[in-house]
């Protein structure tokens, strides 16, 4: 499972290009095993959500079968016997790449049926968000298309009864001795009404001492319990949930509305954004993603299918019909095709850790926005520009509607997103950076990687820089003939404090470090 016990020292300059290495894999398919991609509804093991907690010590994944699997970091569990040795190792090697082990799993959602609308509700987990820990317990939110649940996961010690000095062969079903103080012969009724004699007499010399049962605690085991169910608040499919920095509230967004919840109140929510028109035929755009600002509890951003991102301030009004800022890329002069608006739809947005920058992903590009500058993105990264001639084919097989996620490193210097053929791209987003990596979700991530030389002739503006790195790469299926549209890497997450990425390739969870 592990990619070796190699220990890597931290880089002195965090802006230097990273060399990615394989770390771990969970649920890897064998050579002859196939995931049922043809019949998507039966591929319940395919991962549909990934999320690190705020400390980076726990990782949660959700799948199409409604299950949530938790992983726990194993390389930070210091015991007393190895404490001195580990201290010496950390003196020589300041950073050890994170290693995770399986912790527990539980069934979060089950398939349901809405009888009023004659609609089947899938159990697939759309998103997972970690909440603040309390009293050593882990809390997380998970959602499918209609229902959000708050889960508490806590280690419970297993209690067992110590052995007693009684003969097990002389006990009956529930473990108690069937005896009588008045007689040594006890009658037990048979099915047909007959009576059988059972000898429950004591030993000839009696019992010298009776050892009373003692309850002892053994190893602990994690137990998941559902604490809250937030239901019946969305008429359309929930596409995202996001925790607030105040630790008390969260939002849930569907195609037309965003609701604000209190974690302690499950039967009431407040509608803060509503883009539903009076007449549905006037509908021109839908909400695709929403996220709270990481530090300002009154601010949140949401994206739309028209490629715009709106930043709203909840202090302005109870119903946030107007936005504080609108982020949209300036229109390019020239003819527009049938696919222009489709590929402009934003599938995911993520705030940087400090909240200054916002990352967005549409079908073709990854964009970095400065929330203080709404004139346009500060950087645009081409993810798979070579697919433009294939848009008709992508539309025919519905691949053009795939929703790719994006993520940013904890220091805000890099961003990552997925592509087809189980590839994912890592870009350096700091000013002047030309870092670009293309990796494959496999045990050999650099197998398809071909270094792309920088172009010094293309000047980078200090304010706006359009980065076209990765547009021409023959080693990454540049001709688009060998691309496998059925193997797509949609979900990935970056460790909050280290250069470690977890990504999902079908039912396999791959982890890499640099």
Reduced 3-state DSSP string for 157-218: EEEEECCCCCCHHHCCCCCCCCCCCCCCEEEEECCCCCEEEEECCCCCCCCCCCCCCCEEEE
Helix (H, G, I), strand (E, B) or coil at 277: coil
Assess contact for 347 and 288: CB atoms under 8 A.
Answer: yes
- Summarize pLDDT for 109-161 with one digit per residue, the tens: 999 988 888 889 999 999 999 999 998 899 999 999 999 999 999 998 877 77
Assess contact for 443 and 22: CB atoms under 8 A.
Answer: yes
- Summarize pLDDT for 60-99 with one digit per residue, the tens: 999 999 999 999 998 765 444 444 554 555 445 455 678 9
Residue 190 has pLDDT above 50, yes or no: no
Q: Which two tokens stand for residue 403?
A: 């929703």
The reported pLDDT for the residue numbered 33 is: 53
- Summarize pLDDT for 297-335 with one digit per residue, the tens: 999 999 999 999 999 999 988 888 889 999 999 887 777
Distance CA 131, CA 108 (A): 16
Distance CA 217, CA 157 (A): 6
Distance CA 488, CA 43 (A): 14
Residue 365 has pLDDT above 60, yes or no: yes
Average pLDDT, the chain: 81
Assess contact for 259 and 271: CB atoms under 8 A.
Answer: yes
> 476 burial class (0-12, 13-18, 19+ CB within 10 angstroms)?
buried
Q: How confident is the model at residue 13 (pLDDT cuts 50, 70, 90)?
A: low
Distance CA 254, CA 240 (A): 7
**Of 474 and 363, which is predicted with more confidence?**
363
Q: How confident is the model at residue 199 (pLDDT cuts 50, 70, 90)?
A: low
Assess contact for 285 and 232: CB atoms under 8 A.
Answer: no
- Summarize pLDDT for 236-280 with one digit per residue, the tens: 999 999 999 999 999 999 999 999 999 999 999 999 999 999 999
In which order are the strands placed within the sheet that holds 379-382?
348-351, 357-361, 365-370, 379-382, 465-467
Helix (H, G, I), strand (E, B) or coil at 394: helix
Distance CA 127, CA 248 (A): 19
Q: Which two tokens stand for residue 322?
A: 């107007």
**Of 388 and 473, which is predicted with more confidence?**
388
The reported pLDDT for the residue numbered 187 is: 43
The pLDDT of 363-372, averaged and rounded, is: 96
**Of 220 and 381, which is predicted with more confidence?**
381
Q: What is the DSSP letter of 497?
A: S
Kind of pairing, strands 309-313 and 325-327?
antiparallel
Q: Which two tokens stand for residue 472?
A: 């021409």
N-to-C CA span, the chain: 17
What DSSP line would sit under 86-110, residue for residue? HHHHHHH-S-----EEEEEEEE---
């Amino acid at each position: 499972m592990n990619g070796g016990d190699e220990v890597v020292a931290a880089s002195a300059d965090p802006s230097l290009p990273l060399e990615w290495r394989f770390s771990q894999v969970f649920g890897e398919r064998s050579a002859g095993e196939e995931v049922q991609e043809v019949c998507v509804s039966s591929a319940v093991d395919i991962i549909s959500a990934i999320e690190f907690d705020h400390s980076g010590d726990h990782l949660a994944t959700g799948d199409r079968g409604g299950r949530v699997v938790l992983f726990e970091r194993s390389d930070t569990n210091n015991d007393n016997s190895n404490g001195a040795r580990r201290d010496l190792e950390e003196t020589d090697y300041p950073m050890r790449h994170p290693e995770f082990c399986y912790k527990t799993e539980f069934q979060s959602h089950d398939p349901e049926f809405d009888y009023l609308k004659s609609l089947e509700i899938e159990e697939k987990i759309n998103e997972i968000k970690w909440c603040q820990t309390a009293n050593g317990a882990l809390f997380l939110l998970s959602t499918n298309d209609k229902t959000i649940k708050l889960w508490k996961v806590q280690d419970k010690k297993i209690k067992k009864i110590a052995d007693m000095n009684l003969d097990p062969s002389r006990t009956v079903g529930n473990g108690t001795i069937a005896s009588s103080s008045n007689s040594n012969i006890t009658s037990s009724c048979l099915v047909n009404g007959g009576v059988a004699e059972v000898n429950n007499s004591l030993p000839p010399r009696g019992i010298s001492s009776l050892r009373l049962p003692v309850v002892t605690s053994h190893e602990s085991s994690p137990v998941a319990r559902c604490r809250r169910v937030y239901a019946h608040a969305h008429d359309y499919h929930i596409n995202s949930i996001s925790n607030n920095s105040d630790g008390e509230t969260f939002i849930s967004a569907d195609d037309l509305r965003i609701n604000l919840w209190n974690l302690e109140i499950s039967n009431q929510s407040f509608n803060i954004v509503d883009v539903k028109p009076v007449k549905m035929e006037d509908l021109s755009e839908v909400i695709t993603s929403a996220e709270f600002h990481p530090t300002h509890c009154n601010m949140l951003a949401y994206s739309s299918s028209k490629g715009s991102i709106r930043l709203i301030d909840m202090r302005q009004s109870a119903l946030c019909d107007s936005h504080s800022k609108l982020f949209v890329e300036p229109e390019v002069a020239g003819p527009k095709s049938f696919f222009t608006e489709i590929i402009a739809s934003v599938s995911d947005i993520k705030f940087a850790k400090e909240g200054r920058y916002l990352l967005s992903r549409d079908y073709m590009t990854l964009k970095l926005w400065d929330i203080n500058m709404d004139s346009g993105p500060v950087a645009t990264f081409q993810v798979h520009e070579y697919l433009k001639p294939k848009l008709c084919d992508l539309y025919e097989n519905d691949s053009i509607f795939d929703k790719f996620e994006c993520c940013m490193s904890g220091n805000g210097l890099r961003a990552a997103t997925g592509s087809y053929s189980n590839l994912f791209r890592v870009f350096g987003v700091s000013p002047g950076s030309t870092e670009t990596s293309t990796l494959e979700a496999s045990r050999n991530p650099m197998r398809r990687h071909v270094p792309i030389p920088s172009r010094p002739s293309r000047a980078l503006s200090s304010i706006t820089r359009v980065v076209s790195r990765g547009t021409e790469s023959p080693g990454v299926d540049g001709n688009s003939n060998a691309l496998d549209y059925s193997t797509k890497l949609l979900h990935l997450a970056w460790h909050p404090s280290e250069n470690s990425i977890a990504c999902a390739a079908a039912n396999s969870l791959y982890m890499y470090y640099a």
